[in-house]
Structure 1
Amino acid sequence: MISLRFIVRRCGRCCTLCNVVKILLIGPCLLFLLFLLLVFHPKIAPERFNKALGRCSDDEDRRFINDVCLNFSKGVISGPLCRPLCLNGDIVYKHCLGHGGKIVIEAQYENRPVIVKASERSVFHYYVPIEDDLLRRLSERERDKMIRDAVFRQANDVIKPFSVDDKMMAKRFLGEKNLTLADSLTLFSLLGQDEFMRLLLLTGTQHVPALYGWCGHVYAMEYITSDDFLPILHPISSRHTWEERVRVALSFLDMVKSFKNTPYGELFMCDVQESNFGITPGFIVYAIDIDLTFFTEQLKFIITQPKCKRDDECNFFDCVAICDKEKGKCTTNIKTNNFQVLCSDIFQSKLLSLRGLLVHPPKLIAGRLRTLLSDCGKTNDSVIPAAYYENLYHKLRNLLLHSI
């Protein structure tokens, strides 16, 4: 028979063990809850947590805009948006959208929503100083030439990878007027922001948000959100019809053609994910985040840097080149393209996911569509001839057109 002393001792040990387990489980939970309170409570959250999470505050961004306008009033910066932003009240602040290396603000301009962006770095971070005394001794013509030459020297690393003719860039970016020191500082600050450069170079290109102008290192662009696009990728839960999804897919195909034939070579999308696209009410697709898009010469320069033993080591996100295994170096032979990546990552579902723009098609075309998407989404060990994708492109387009 088990003694009473044994039972008491056993229970005591169990209770002690239970207490230890409780402490081990509850302690980290309490610490985690305290962390969440510090991070997410609007009155408690320290500024460093906000910045680490890409969060922002309206007060902080309003101060930022005030500083920009103060620089404009002092004649330090210039730009076509300075008066609407600082004097006329045409650009109305709505609220901040986020930080994280870049300030992003939603605003209203001429009764339409716009996105106002700027690098978090001060405009003076980009300035390459020119001696004021020397400038005062020069004639207006000589001073203008000196500033322009300085701008082009600073811009060389940005302009050359785009393969842009200097005269074309001068006309589009610098205009015909004589440049002031404020123009010089503004141009330096904008040349240091890749997204601005792409928006400027792609002005008038469909499927890219319009650039409305700039003031110092701040620029405003068309506001197109991904909020209306994301539900379309959930055909089971969304109310969008097959015809509407086809219209979006056809717009993606138009984007592929548009990006293949820019004045500066093909534009590669190296970060194809759902949140980087938006649609208009008319189902026109836009690439709303072009930070990781690159023209051909730019991408070749970037992608040939690493050493490699196999192709998957020659990737820059969704853009992949071929590895020369004998030399152990990535080549300029890029084996992915926009059409292939869209087929793989947007049109069809990934693994067990039910998401995908063209999942659950009408039964009449389901088999042919599945085959086409499989063929256009695959990658080989070698570069597949462009004619192969061109053929698939037209087959997919025709199949979608005839399905609605």
Structure 2
Amino acid sequence: MFSLAISLQLTNFRCESGSQKCPFARFSYLHMKYLFFSWLAVFVGSWVVYVEYSSYTELCRGHECRNSICDKYRKGVIDGSACSSLCEKETLYLGKCFTAKPNSQVGPPVKTSPPVGLRANPKRSLCLQQANQRNVSGESKMVLEDQANLADLATHVLSVADANKDGHISLPEARSTWALLQLNEFLLALVLQDREHTPKLLGFCGDLYMMEKVPNSPLYGISLPWIVEVWIPAGLRRSMDQWFTPSWPHKAKISIGLLELVEDIFHGTFGSFLMCDVSTATFGYNDRHDFKVMDARYIIPEATFQERIRQQRCDADEDCLYGTDCLTSCDLTKHRCTPEVTRPNLAKACDTLKDYILQGAPSDVSEELEKQLYACIALKGSVEQMEMEHSLILNNLKTLLWKKISHTKDS
């Protein structure tokens, strides 16, 4: 309507002097059409940016999160090693927003669980309060495999739960610990406590916990605002990602770290875990180029995954997906998902590393490295069905990369 009204006005306009050129003669309908759509694009773009910013700030409410947690702490509902610093001494504060995702709202070095309050069962909390190791082990079987070393895990959980180190676990400490144990990322930090792949756990208060800051993320490439992403061609985007990577020896060290993570969570001390989101955004590295897990929400105990996926109704294999990478098949006779994933962790990790590690690889290893990576990506079925092949490919890749950098300072 706006464009039509202006067009009609211009059509009805006449110059008084025949010798004088009309100043509006150059404004054709096509020009006005371009002007209108340019204005419309600016309006729509501004509206989208406003909506995104509004939703972002709605999620990133650090002061409200702090007030809620400190209120529960002062009432004696929760407790933890970081509560005093956060709520009394005020030496700990919530910084910039790390992400707009509701599951990880507050910026580094602090992370929180979803804002649904503490999910503590009074009976389970009482078990923790009494430090009954047998009961803690029984509860741990709900998320870990029976063959896992639950006694050692229970001992470590009790040590972490005793925030003030007085040898006694209070009910507020028990509530906080149980809520945190429901989080895959927190559980993995406990399981891999002696390894370098996960950031160190620094403290907690209620269902908020602090992790060591990882300065470099994602694993490779550059993070851009989504409004910029949509205008960049896919080919240019891949080239840009390669511009923002470390030197090849450093990339080799980081890649070895990812392969070691796969090895550690496969039949590890506390059972097997599945990696259900193996994207570059979920990993990072520190200044020494040590590989670190940035987001472990989708690294889930295999027993927990199988229990959940069995209950999922399906009409096709595509319905049996957890996260972005854990896919099983659909049993059409029962319309239920089968528990075995179609691709092991190693195949997904190699898929993520392919473009990263092959780019700039030395000529004397590039051909063999490419061969090993594609053999790795081709792995299908559960690891139990191909355990020997899985171990062989994993060891070959680690050996190939390590031999190339072991004599350099990058090792």
- TM-score, normalised to structure 1, is 0.72
Residue number in structure 2 paired with 1:301: 307
Are 1:80 and 2:81 matched, yes or no? yes
- Partner deviation per Cα, 1:120-171 (whole Å, 9 max, x = no partner): 5264x535679xxxxxxxxxxxx96696699x99998875022367755553
Query: Among 50, 68, 90, which residue is 1:38 paired with?
Result: 50
Q: Distance in 1 between matches of 2:188 and 2:51?
A: 35
Q: Distance in 1 between matches of 2:169 and 2:404?
A: 56
Q: Distance in 1 between matches of 2:82 and 2:245?
A: 40
Are 1:241 and 2:223 matched, yes or no? no
Matches within 5 A, 1:152-167: 160-163=142-145
Residue number in structure 2 paired with 1:370: 370
Rate the CA distance shift 1:99–1:313 in 2: closer, same or farther, 3 A: closer
Q: CA deviation at 1:33?
A: 3.6
Rate the CA distance shift 1:192–1:314 in 2: closer, same or farther, 3 A: closer
Residue number in structure 2 paired with 1:186: 176
Structure 1 unaligned spans of 5+: 1-8, 107-113, 131-142, 350-355
Tell me, yes or no, if the aligned pair for 1:229 and 1:278 is still in contact at 8 Å: yes
Q: Distance in 2 between matches of 1:99 and 1:158?
A: 31
Q: CA deviation at 1:285?
A: 0.7
Are 1:171 and 2:165 matched, yes or no? no
Tell me, yes or no, if the aligned pair for 2:56 and 2:100 is still in contact at 8 Å: no
Higher strand share: 1
Amino acid at match of 1:330: C
Q: Which runs of 4+ in 1 moved over 6 A?
A: 152-158, 232-235
Tell me, yes or no, if the aligned pair for 1:154 and 1:188 is still in contact at 8 Å: no
Residue number in structure 2 paired with 1:110: none
Amino acid at match of 2:391: E
Q: Distance in 2 between matches of 1:308 and 1:70?
A: 44
Residue number in structure 2 paired with 1:135: none
- Partner deviation per Cα, 1:296-332 (whole Å, 9 max, x = no partner): 2122223333455665543322123344455554322
Amino acid at match of 1:337: P
Indicate the percent of aligned positions where both proteins have the same amino acid: 20
| Greater CA drift, 197-206 or 283-292 | 197-206
Q: Distance in 1 between matches of 2:268 and 2:150?
A: 17
- Partner deviation per Cα, 1:314-363 (whole Å, 9 max, x = no partner): 33221233444555543223332221111112x213xxxxxx23223222
Tell me, yes or no, if the aligned pair for 2:149 and 2:270 is still in contact at 8 Å: no
Q: Distance in 1 between matches of 2:309 and 2:178?
A: 27
Rate the CA distance shift 1:180–1:238 in 2: closer, same or farther, 3 A: closer
Tell me, yes or no, if the aligned pair for 2:184 and 2:298 is still in contact at 8 Å: no
Tell me, yes or no, if the aligned pair for 1:322 and 1:382 is still in contact at 8 Å: no
Partner secondary structure for residue 142 of structure 2: helix
Are 1:360 and 2:360 matched, yes or no? yes
| Greater CA drift, 306-315 or 287-296 | 306-315
Q: Distance in 1 between matches of 2:28 and 2:190?
A: 69
- TM-score, normalised to structure 2, is 0.71
Residue number in structure 1 paired with 2:344: 337
Rate the CA distance shift 1:376–1:310 in 2: closer, same or farther, 3 A: farther
Q: Distance in 1 between matches of 2:367 and 2:358?
A: 12
Residue number in structure 2 paired with 1:138: none
Structure 2 unaligned spans of 5+: 1-7, 13-26, 223-237, 406-411
Residue number in structure 2 paired with 1:116: 110
Rate the CA distance shift 1:24–1:363 in 2: closer, same or farther, 3 A: same
Tell me, yes or no, if the aligned pair for 2:214 and 2:285 is still in contact at 8 Å: yes
Q: CA deviation at 1:247?
A: 1.7
Q: Distance in 2 between matches of 1:62 and 1:236?
A: 38
Q: Distance in 1 between matches of 2:128 and 2:254?
A: 49
Q: CA deviation at 1:191?
A: 4.1
Residue number in structure 2 paired with 1:205: 195
Rate the CA distance shift 1:368–1:39 in 2: closer, same or farther, 3 A: same
Matches within 5 A, 1:247-286: 247-286=253-292
Q: Distance in 2 between matches of 1:167 and 1:24?
A: 70
Rate the CA distance shift 1:148–1:100 in 2: closer, same or farther, 3 A: farther
Q: CA deviation at 1:365?
A: 2.6
Matches within 5 A, 1:101-112: 101-102=102-103, 104-106=105-107
Partner secondary structure for residue 80 of structure 2: coil
Rate the CA distance shift 1:357–1:198 in 2: closer, same or farther, 3 A: same
What is the number of equivalent residue pairs in this alignment? 356
Matches within 5 A, 1:6-155: 18=30, 21-22=33-34, 25-26=37-38, 28-36=40-48, 38-39=50-51, 46=54, 48=55, 50-51=57-58, 56=60, 60-102=61-103, 104-106=105-107, 115-119=109-113, 121=115, 123=117, 126=119
Q: CA deviation at 1:279?
A: 1.0
- Partner deviation per Cα, 1:193-242 (whole Å, 9 max, x = no partner): 44333333433333112212211222111111443742499685247332
Q: Distance in 2 between matches of 1:146 and 1:396?
A: 43
Q: CA deviation at 1:261?
A: 3.8
Partner secondary structure for residue 161 of structure 1: coil
Q: Distance in 1 between matches of 2:260 and 2:176?
A: 35
Q: Distance in 2 between matches of 1:71 and 1:370?
A: 54
CA RMSD in angstroms, aligned pairs only: 4.1
Tell me, yes or no, if the aligned pair for 1:116 and 1:220 is still in contact at 8 Å: yes
- Partner deviation per Cα, 1:74-115 (whole Å, 9 max, x = no partner): 433211222233334443554332343245444xxxxxxx62
Tell me, yes or no, if the aligned pair for 2:129 and 2:168 is still in contact at 8 Å: no
Q: Distance in 2 between matches of 1:62 and 1:96?
A: 11
